[in-house]
Amino acid sequence: MQIDYTLYLCTDRSLMSTPTLEEAVEAAIRGGVTLVQLREKDCSSGEFYQTAVNIKKITDRHNVPLIINDRLDIALAVDAAGLHIGQTDLPAAAARKVLGPDKILGVSTATLEEALKAQADGADYLGVGAMFTTGTKKNARSVTMDGLMEIRRNIQIPIVVIGGVNEKNCTQFNGTGIDGLAIVSAIIAKPDIEAAAREIKGLFHK
């Protein structure tokens, strides 16, 4: 499966400027988002499942892969394109075993050691960060540009950068060999989500 990681939207319903998450995701995709990760930290399993079903109808219509954050059960239940996990979630090797070979598996990493392990355990891509100070994750570990480049040199799989990435700093990653930008508030919190996505995508050159 050929995945375009260029503009990777992570949802956060506490930040969105639209009345519904569905509207936010639709607008972001119209603006050029190539991948959507559904993050639902504060809701029941039933709510998360129903939201995933609704969002998947939108992503499917636009042929954009839907990735579920943390919840392997929800990813399988809605037949999402894949799963994204952090360092304290289910281990990547275990997730890969259950997901099978055809689903996308992403892993959050902040060090070269974590990146190498994730790659060895079957990850398809890495989320590396936090690159900048971010309000969406209070305990995020920071990664320097040198740290990012060390990971890039030693890793064969795609890398998306995350953590405070926005229209003011995204050009710092141009020409670094990074495959995409994972964005939360710089798209979803903007009054015009579609325009915000289009602007960032236009600024970033792989």
Higher-confidence position of 138 and 161: 161
Active site residue 137: yes
Question: What is the number of residues in the chain?
Answer: 206
Confidence category of residue 206, pLDDT binned at 50, 70, 90: confident
* Residue 141 reports pLDDT greater than 70: yes
CA distance 146 to 154: 13
For the chain, give the mean pLDDT: 96
Tokens at 110, concatenated: 């902040």
Q: What pLDDT is stored for residue 64 in this prediction?
A: 98
Q: What pLDDT is stored for residue 133 in this prediction?
A: 84
User: Which H helix or E strand runs over 74?
Assistant: helix 72-77
Domain 7-203 CATH class label: alpha beta
Active site residue 44: no
- What helix, strand, coil percent values describe the chain, rounded to 5? 40, 15, 45
Provide the β-strand partners of residue 160.
127, 180
* Residue 20 reports pLDDT greater than 80: yes
Q: What is the mean pLDDT of residues 46-64?
A: 98
* Residue 41 reports pLDDT greater than 90: no
Cα R_g (the chain), whole angstroms: 16
* Alpha-carbon dihedral 171, 174, 178, 183, rounded to 10 degrees: 20
CA distance 206 to 204: 6
DSSP secondary structure, 127-193, as one string: EE---S--SS-TTPPP--HHHHHHHHHH--S-EEE-SS--TTTGGGGTTTT--EEEESHHHHTSSSH
Q: What is the mean pLDDT of residues 159-165?
A: 97
**pLDDT tens-digit map of 64-120:** 999 999 999 999 999 999 999 999 999 999 999 999 999 999 999 999 999 999 999
Name the active-site residue from 71, 137, 190, 198: 137
Claim: this prediction has a pTM higher than 0.75: yes
The dihedral through the CA atoms of 126, 171, 137, 110 has a sign that is: positive
* Residue 139 reports pLDDT greater than 80: no
Q: What pLDDT is stored for residue 2 in this prediction?
A: 86
Provide the residue ranges of all domains of the chain, joining segments of one domain with +. Answer: 7-203
CA distance 162 to 160: 7
User: Which H helix or E strand runs over 98?
Assistant: helix 92-99
Name the active-site residue from 56, 96, 103, 108: 108
Confidence category of residue 134, pLDDT binned at 50, 70, 90: confident
* Residue 22 reports pLDDT greater than 90: yes
CA distance 135 to 126: 21
Neighbours of 68 (CB within 10 A): 28
